[in-house]
Amino acid sequence: MKTITSTVKTTARALALLSTALAAPLAAQTLDLAWSQDATGLDPHTQPGFATIRLLELMYEPLVRLDEGLELQPALAESWSFSDDGLQLTFQLDGDAMFHDGTPVTSADVRASFERILDEETGAIARANYTSIINIETPDDATVVFELDAPNAPLLNGLASVNAAVVPASAIEAGTLGTEVIGSGPFTLDARTPNASANLSAFDAWHGGDVAYDGINISVLPDETALLAALRAGQADFALINDPLVATLVPRTEGLQLNTAPTLSYYVLQLNASREPMGELALRQAIGCAIDRQDVLDAALLGEGEVTGPLTSPAYRTDPSGLFCYEQDQDRARELLAEAGYADGFTATVIAANGEPPTASAVAQVIQSQLSEVGINLEIEMLELSVYIDRWLAADFDMAVALNGGRVDPYTMYNRYWTRDGNLQGVANYIDDTLDTLMIEGRAETDEAARAEIFGNFESHLAEMSPWIWLFTGNTYTAQTEGVSGFVSSPTGTLFGLVDVTLAE
């Protein structure tokens, strides 16, 4: 038996080597990229999925882009300015910008793109971020003026997203956005088989500069451990890794490098204040005091992350230890429980999604054991992702373990939950005047220092009211072989840094 398997393995190895030799490319330098989740579509305006955005960011461009320090950088626009009253935002386009079909990018394309995003028929995913745009003027081919209904400081950051990409007016006209890619970004799409592979070529006429290699071959390897195997065997030069458990194995492997960046998205225990007994402030605070956030992080994510308050963006993030009950205090938790009339504790159900993220069930279990020490009895309900989302959107839960997406600007990140007319206020199920007022002030304020103060107050009030228990942020991971150099990770998780990469011969 043993000889048979070793013969088979030798044969397999020989075949593998032979096929690699036969399929060796002719002098073209390509980056072999592997990831486990593939894009679910090609329309940049309607696709919110993490995996889809990673792909489309390499081919489409918004007006502005965020660098690894989350500072605004020019993309299609070379400069921008607000009018003094804050009601007009003017962009000057880069005159060299060109779409993959060779036509120049003009203000007409920008206007058509935003009219499409704002049209409710489109189902554009980020539409809510741009509804303050009431009119778009195009004085000449290189100038676009957005007229706003009120001053809106977060708008610029909101525009730095591939969900606000500029697409050719002709492609909108032809209705081809779902099936082919004509962007203005650094790579063109040559071929794609969903959930299997995609081939990208460097776009010679990209206005942003030259890419040092010829293209990217993307392979979808659904199993995260297979990503690691592909890197080891030299089949992939670069991989995007989601599972912290797999990521921690990378540095232990000779010749592989792990790139880590803290994410903006945050793990949180959402309490549903419309469900008894979570309506009681003292009881919600008790839950917060009973949890040891660092301990959950260490046990469920192998310590791969950082304890956080509600604000996760580097410009606003501060040391959370000053927030309400950020050090575990079980005595205080018991006092607060008694104050709420639940001295003997209570029983509640917590929902979490299977495998989304891979650490969700572990987080739920650690929280369950910590809360049991003060008499709170949690029942964990693991659900398939779409079922979880349905229940979550309907606020059909006592508590939920969630990994919610973050944004650079606190207003864009939280207005959906913590304003009176936020789209997801029905999911958050808690609001007070303080939160609503601070959010509205923060939206209109343009001075950075003043904004930091407003959102600092917002954060400490939110932590004290404990509608949710914020836990920690995780990391975004990429892994690369020695032949790859020059990639810089970003907290947004974007792979746009691949344009600066050079490959060893």
Partner 1 sequence: MKYLLGRLAVFPLVMLGVSVFVFVAIRLVPGDAITAMLGTEGGMLTPAQREALAAYFGLDQNWAVQYFRWLGGLFRGDLGISVTYGQPVLDIILERFPLTLQLALMSMVVALAIGLPAGVFAATRANKASDLIVRIFAMMGQSMPNFVVALLSIYILSVGFGVLPTMGRFVTFSEDPLGNLAQMILPSIALGTAFAAAVTRITRAAMMDILGEDYVRTARSQGFSQGYVIWRHALPNALIPVLTLSGVEFGYLLGGAVIVEQIFALPGLGRVVLDAILERDYALVQGVILFIAFNFMLVNLLVDLAYAALDPRIRYGGNA
> Does 233 sit near partner 1 (CB under 8 A)?
yes
Q: Site for partner 1 (CB under 8 A): which residue of 29, 30, 103, 122?
A: 122
Residue with tokens 């954060």: 459
> Does 48 sit near partner 1 (CB under 8 A)?
yes
> Does 385 sit near partner 1 (CB under 8 A)?
yes
- Alpha helices, DSSP H only, in 376-432? 385-393, 410-418, 425-428
- For 433, counting Cβ atoms within 10 Å of its Cβ (0-12 exposed, 13-18 middle, 19+ buried), the class is exposed
> Does 108 sit near partner 1 (CB under 8 A)?
no
How many alpha carbons lie under 13 Å from residue 442 in its C-beta half-sphere? 26
Residues 401-420 interacting with partner 1 (rule: CB under 8 A): 404, 416
> Does 319 sit near partner 1 (CB under 8 A)?
no
DSSP type of residue 251: G
Q: Rank residues 128 and 488 by Cβ distance to partner 1 and give the closer one.
A: 128
Q: How many residues bind partner 1 (CB under 8 A)?
A: 65
Angle at alpha carbon of residue 26, lines to 25 and 30, rounded to 5°: 55
> Does 271 sit near partner 1 (CB under 8 A)?
no
| Cβ 217 vs Cβ 32: under 8 Å | yes
Collapsed DSSP state (helix, strand, coil) of residue 324: coil
Q: Site for partner 1 (CB under 8 A): which residue of 7, 81, 195, 347?
A: 195
The nearest distance, CB 393 to partner 1, in angstroms, is 5
Distance (Å, rounded) from C-alpha 60 to C-alpha 342?
55
Distance (Å, rounded) from C-alpha 28 to C-alpha 140?
40
> Does 179 sit near partner 1 (CB under 8 A)?
yes
Distance (Å, rounded) from C-alpha 197 to C-alpha 55?
11
Report the amino acid identity of residue 112.
Answer: A
Considering only the stretches 213-221, 371-379, 434-442, 486-494, report the one whose residues sit in contact with partner 1 under the rule CB under 8 A.
213-221
Element at 143 (helix H, strand E):
strand 143-148
The nearest distance, CB 205 to partner 1, in angstroms, is 27
**What string marks each residue from 3 to 42 as x (binds partner 1 by CB under 8 A) or -?**
-----xx-xxx-xxxxxx-xx----------x-----xx-
415, 449, 450 from 455: Cα distances, Å? 12, 10, 9
Q: Site for partner 1 (CB under 8 A): which residue of 69, 139, 222, 322?
A: 222
How many alpha carbons lie under 13 Å from residue 328 in its C-beta half-sphere? 15
The tokens for 384 are: 């398939």
Q: Rank residues 142 and 182 by Cβ distance to partner 1 and give the closer one.
A: 182
Q: Rank residues 119 and 500 by Cβ distance to partner 1 and give the closer one.
A: 119
The nearest distance, CB 191 to partner 1, in angstroms, is 11
In the complex, which residues of this chain contact partner 1 (CB under 8 A)?
Answer: 1, 8-9, 11-13, 15-20, 22-23, 34, 40-41, 46-49, 120-125, 127-128, 178-179, 193-197, 217, 219-223, 225-226, 228-230, 232-235, 385-387, 389-393, 404, 416, 423-424, 426-427
